[in-house]
Amino acid sequence: MPTTRDIVLAALDARLLPLAALTLRDEVLPDRIPAAGLIILRDGQPGEPEVTLSPLRYHYQHRAELEVVVQAPNGRASAFDSLIATIGTTLEADRTLGGLCDWVEPEAPASVDLPIEGAAAMKAAVITVVLHYTTSGPLA
C-alpha cells in the first residue's frame, strides 16, 4: 500500500510527464540530454512535521527537487527559460495535485552553466518544490 508521501510525489511526477522535456524520477543523469531538455524529480525530504492532536495528524512541508537540464548549441538560455516557465505554468494549473496535497509551491531556481568538453554547454538548475500535505502518521 503506497504512503501519502509516495502518492503525492507520484502525482507531481505525473503532472510533469506531459511536458516536452524528458521527465525521470530518481534516475541518474543520462549520457545524452534530449533536445527538449530533461527534468529529474528527486524525492527530497519531508522534514519535521507539525503535529496536531485529536485527531492526530502530521502536517508536512516536503521539499522535493526538480533537476532541470537543457543542452542546446544555440539558444540554450531561451530554451532553459522556456522550460522553467512551462514547469511553473504546469504547477500553477493545479496547486493541490488533484486534491492530494494542500498546496504546491515551487521556489525560484538558481541556474548554472556547465561546460562540457567537446560538446555544447548545459544550463541547469535545481528547483525546490514544497509539497504541503497531511498524514495520519509519520509512516502513513
Q: CATH number for the domain including 118? A: 3.30.2000.10
Look at residue 81 and tell me if it is in a domain.
yes
Structure pTM? Answer: 0.93
In this structure, which amino acid lies at residue 29? L
Q: Grid coordinates standing for 88?
A: 511553473
**Residue 116: per-residue pLDDT:** 78
Look at residue 25 and tell me if it is in a domain.
yes
The model's pLDDT over 85-120, given as tens digits with 9 standing for 90+, comes to 999 999 999 999 999 999 999 999 988 988 877 777
What is the residue range of 127's domain? Answer: 4-135
The model's pLDDT over 32-74, given as tens digits with 9 standing for 90+, comes to 899 999 999 999 999 999 999 999 999 999 999 999 999 977 8
Please, what is the end-to-end C-alpha distance for the chain in angstroms? 9
| Burial status of residue 32 (CB atoms within 10 A of its CB: 0-12, 13-18, 19 or more) | exposed
Look at residue 29 and tell me if it is in a domain.
yes
- Do 50 and 117 touch, CB atoms closer than 8 A? no
Among the listed ranges 12-16, 29-33, 57-61, which one has the minimum average pLDDT value? 29-33
**Residue 19: per-residue pLDDT:** 97
Task: Let me know how long the chain is.
Answer: 140
Give yes or no for a cis peptide into 30 (omega within 30° of 0): no
CA distances from 3 to 36, 57, 97, 136, 139 (A): 32, 14, 16, 10, 7
Nearest alpha carbon to residue 96 among 67, 131, 126, 125: 131
Q: Which residues contact 85 (CB under 8 A, 6 or more apart)?
A: none
Look at residue 140 and tell me if it is in a domain.
no
Number of domains in the chain: 1
Mean pLDDT of the chain: 94
